[in-house]
Amino acid sequence: MAVLDQLDLVARDVDKTVAFYRLLGVRIPKSATGAHHVRIDFGGAMELAIDSRALARAYNAGYRGNKGGGNLVIGFSFRTRRAVDATYKKMIAAGHRGLQKPFDAFWGSRYAIVEDPDGNHVGLMSPVDAKKRSPGPAL
């Protein structure tokens, strides 16, 4: 059985991408600046890696460069609904693009989406509050 244990982002500018995820609240060692490969261990079975384009070309013969992102949402959880709103505001104030303003999602979480420097969609989500659930959209 395959186990998902790593998400590897290829960045146009590793330092800008590291700065974005630090601002989001991800703990990344200071030594990560200027690197071609940054590994962030989340203390469980998952890690986030950030690689330069040069490194990606070295290990992936099929790498063709960033096409703008958007087909994947990288989800981060926050302890409170208020933290989702505050983090969204902080990211927007720092010049990052907001794709979905914070709202009470039908599944019961406070939810928002911002864009990282490489066009990846980054979801911000609070715990589910059953009282905030509503019928989902008619698809």
Other beta carbons within 10 Å of 27: 9
Residue 34 has pLDDT above 80, yes or no: no
pLDDT tier for residue 130 given thresholds of 50, 70 and 90: very high
Listed in sequence order, the residues at least 6 apart from 31 whose beta carbon sits closer than 8 Å to its beta carbon are: none
Per-residue pLDDT reduced to its tens digit, 57-77: 888 888 888 666 667 899 999
1-66 and 68-139 share one fold: yes
CA gap 139, 137 in Å, rounded: 6
Q: How far is CA 86 from CA 91, 120, 121, in A?
A: 9, 20, 18
CATH 3.10.180.10, domain 68-139, yes or no: yes
pLDDT of residue 72: 82
The alpha carbon torsion through 67, 110, 7, 14 (nearest 10 deg) reads 60
Q: Domain spans of the chain?
A: 1-66, 68-139
pLDDT of residue 69: 63
> What 3-state class would DSSP assign to 92?
helix
State the fold for domain 1-66. 2,3-Dihydroxybiphenyl 1,2-Dioxygenase; domain 1 (3.10.180)
